[in-house]
Structure formats: structure tokens, C-alpha cells
A and B are shown apart, each in its own frame.
Chain A
Amino acid sequence: MELFTNQVLAGIATGAIYACMALAVVMIYQAIDHLNFAQGEMAMFSTFVCWQLMQWGVPYWGAFLVTLVFSFAGGIAIERLLFKPLAKAPILTNVAGFIALYAIINSVAGLIWDFTIKQFPTPFGSSSFLGSQLISTHQAGMIGVTLILLLLLFFFFRFTRMGLAMRAAASLPESARLVGINTSWMIALGWGMAAAIGAIAGMLIAPVVFLEPNMMLGVLIYGFAAAVLGGLTSPLGAVVGGFLVGVFENLVGTYIPGVGNELKLPIALALIVTVLVVKPAGLFGRPIVKRV
């Protein structure tokens, strides 16, 4: 029984990271109807920026804030330079754009910071949380940050004019333009927010997986799985999906013989396929109905 509780708690803790990544994925999906394959690399690059700032002597939270601003601006710049010109292009062109972006960011990070792994500090410490052996303060911190992020997003989209405008632009672009919303900038803003959320995920997971250019590959696939499971249109779904994927991954790895650590990633992929076949809208997503 203790093994079970242990694994569930550990699953929730890693699930928090998947939830963060899934939030970023959902933000972009809402804005442009595509999954951003370079989301993980963008997060990795942001994390390196934070690391570099700390190397230069900036304290953790200062570096954290500067990184958020950098990522937000960077996300907007990527949209303006690369994806705005592709807005009316076919899906495959966009996918090629995402893959190119993935490769470019990955190589540039390797070029600047090389491929050796680096330690990344945690602001929460790594002692046991509230005297419990099951969960560390860093893990508790990750869960807390994810929930706060979800709450902030909820308030932003529900109660602010900008949030309302972004929702309108995502759901019906033509009508949004007819009430005077600059939908093109709303998409850029979505990219900026997604990049900043991804940066948070990167900075939180780096103390666990160590910092190196390929650190986000697995995380992004889990993030996709979480977003698909929760429903690609729902931020709440993304977070719940993240926690569920984290727990599921751990329990399967522990109890199903032969899976172990090596086969965890295929589990995430199998989960994506299963959800898309059985319930394409996910747990919290809105089924998309098109009149033809």
C-alpha cells in the first residue's frame, strides 16, 4: 500500500510539470489550431537563459522574472516573424515550420551552452515536505505553482477584457474582427503567454532532469498526452490531464511487469492514440461540430 501511495504522490508531482507544458500547448492550440512541436525547445531555451542570468550573479527570482519577460517577448517575435506569414498556409507547411523551429532552437542552445548537463537550482529546497518522506518541498512547490498558474489563467480569461477578446478571437475570428478586435495580435499574445508558461515548466523541471538541450523531449510528449487527455480546448482539462498522466505513468511503470522506466514513453504515446480514437474531445474539451 505504501508503494502505491508513494507512486501516486510522485506521479502527481511530475504530473505538475506535464500540466504546465499542457497549458502552454493548449494556449497555442486555442490560438492557431495547431500543436507546437517546438514548445519544449522554447521552454528549454528559456531555462538556459535563466541559468545564464544566474551564472552572471542575478538572484533566482530576479532571473525567473527576467526569463518570463524574455520568453513572452520571444514567443511574440516567433509568431510575428515565422508563423504570421504562414497563417493561411496549409497544415503541412505549418508543421514544417514547427519542426524547423525545433531544430533551430535545439542547435542554437547546443552551440551557445554545449550539450553537457548542468545543475539547475530549485527555489523551494529539496528537503522533505511537512516531514513526509513521500514528497519533497520542490515537488510541493511545483504543484503549487501549477495550481496558481491555472487560477491566474482562469481569472484572466473569465474576468478581463483582454481575456474575453482572446477567447472571442479564438472561437470566431471573423466575428471578433467585426467587433473591432485585432485578431492577429491576439494570436501573437497567445504565443507570448504560451512561451512564458512553457518557461515556467522548464525552470521547474530542470532541477529534476538536469539542464541540457534535449531535456524537454520526453516532457513535451507527456505534455501533448496530457493536453489531449484533458481536451485541447480546456486549460482546466490540461492541468487535470497532466496530473492523471503523471500518476498513470508511474503506476503502469511500477505494477505492469516489463514496462519499467524504459517503456514509459510509449505509454504516453499509446495514451494519445487511445484518447484520440475513443474520445477525441478529451475529458473536458468541447466537441467540435462543423456544419457541412
Chain B
Amino acid sequence: MTAMLNIKDLRAYYGQVQALHGLEFALNQGSVTTLLGANGAGKTTTLRAICNMVRSTGAIEFDGAPLTGRSTENIVRLGIAHVPQGRGTFTTMTVEENLQLGAITRKDRAGVVADIDRMYDHFPVLKQRHTQQAGTLSGGEQQMLAVARALMLRPRLMLLDEPSFGLAPLIVRDLFKILGKINREDKVTILVVEQNAQLALELADKAYVIETGRIVMSGSANEIANNEDVRKSYLGY
């Protein structure tokens, strides 16, 4: 397997404060990778650094080409979809407009129309609500909309920032099932940041554990799930 995303010596800064201290990791094409870590460990910052939404140094390569110096919108146009923390829903627009916005950089109109229907198949609740203002959806529905909006880009890589945040356990199960399906059927490589370590490890092939801006452990999802320290710190048993 070839590495789709290769990150070397990534350091990120908020003003004077350094949040990442030389992160190194790689994502294999078609894989699901999860970053685990406590609050403030630097998970969100890592995702934001990939999309150039925070000042960073180091090398980030996508398909062998460096992302350094590219603007956020240009990185997205390469096929990297980012579902941000808090979902980033366009609350004053309708559900359907949100989906259209996800595909705003695409030129194939027929394909976009077909993909909107595909999203309604994945997430039937969005179809019921397609003319409704997105701000009136429940938290779970908004998270589905955020994932669907990201998929409208036809991304090759999807970055998900705490998709389970604030959702009921049953809805989280559904969402992760759909993410697995998207990974298998649409061949979308996924990097997911989660506090719900158990679910993330069930979905992922590979996992990294971050503490205070450094990777302290890495391995297959199985190895990490069975590691004593991880179990105590993140799985809680």
C-alpha cells in the first residue's frame, strides 16, 4: 500500500504557543486511521494544519505533492474534505443548498444531481428535510448533513473532527456504520479524530495516540485497543 498522506515533523502554533511538536505519521490509501488523545492533545490542530487553517511548519505531502503554501480552498480542491468540529453547517440555508455547496467546486452538473440523490439514500432523514433550514435540524441530523456535504466533493481523503460529539449513542452507531460503508464502497480514505476511542478503534485499521502535541504510540487498531495503557486511559476499563 502506498502512503496517500505523509506528514513529517509537523509543528503548529497559535500565536506564541506551540501546539504540535514534530508530529510524524502517514495514511495509507483506502485506510481508516484514527487519532486518539485527551482534550488539548492536538488532534483538532493536526486536522487544521493539514488544511492550512493554523500556522504550521514541517512537510505535509498529499499524493507525493507538498501542501505547503496552498490556501485552504486549494487544498480542498485537491479532494480533501474536512468535517470540522462543530460541523460548520450553513444554518441559514436549506439542507439541499448545503449539499450543493459541498459540490460547489465540481463542474459536472449531472453528477452533482445524482450525488445529492445518493446522499439521500445514505441519509434518508435529509431527504425528508431537504427544503428545511439546516439550522432547524437536530444535532445528529446536522452531523449527517456535515458528512454528506463533505462527500459531495467526491473526496479522496476525508478528515473528520469528533463526529460523535454531542450525539446520542444510537445515532453515533449509525453514523459510524455509514462511515465504514463510505470507506469500503466509495474508497474514501478517512482520518478520524475521536474522544470516543472504542468506536473509533472498531472502525479504524490504524491508530495513533497523541499527548501534548506528540505521537506517543502507534500501531494497528487492534494492537492499540489491546494495549494496557490505552485501555486504562481512553477506554476506561
Contacts and interface: CB of A to CB of B under 8 A. Distances in A.
Interface stretch (B18-26, B82-90, B228-236): B82-90
A179 interface: yes
A172 B105 contact: no
A176 B76 CA distance: 11
Given A164-B100, A174-B84, A178-B51, A183 B92 contact: no
Contacts of A178: 51, 72, 76, 81-82, 84, 88
A164 B149 CA distance: 14
Contacts of B76: 177-180
B90 A175 contact: yes
Contacts, number: 60
B53 interface: yes
Contacts of A179: 76, 101-102, 104-105, 149, 153
A286 B91 CA distance: 12
A178 B150 CA distance: 9
B93 interface: yes
A183 B73 CA distance: 9
A285 to B, nearest CB: 12
A164 B90 CA distance: 11
B141 interface: no
Interface string B44-84: 00000001010000000000000000011100110001101
Nearest to B87: A175
A128 interface: no
Nearest to A167: B93
Interface in A37-92: none
A181 interface: yes
Interface in A154-183: 161, 164-165, 167-168, 171-172, 174-183
A168 B84 contact: no
A174 B47 CA distance: 14
Given A174-B53, A181-B105, 20 more contacts: A161-B104, A164-B100, A164-B101, A165-B101, A165-B104, A167-B93, A168-B93, A168-B101, A171-B91, A171-B92, A172-B90, A175-B84, A175-B89, A177-B73, A178-B72, A179-B102, A179-B104, A180-B77, A181-B73, A181-B104
21 contacts: A161-B100, A164-B100, A168-B93, A171-B90, A171-B93, A172-B88, A172-B90, A175-B90, A177-B76, A178-B72, A178-B81, A178-B82, A178-B88, A179-B76, A179-B101, A179-B102, A179-B104, A179-B153, A180-B73, A180-B76, A181-B104
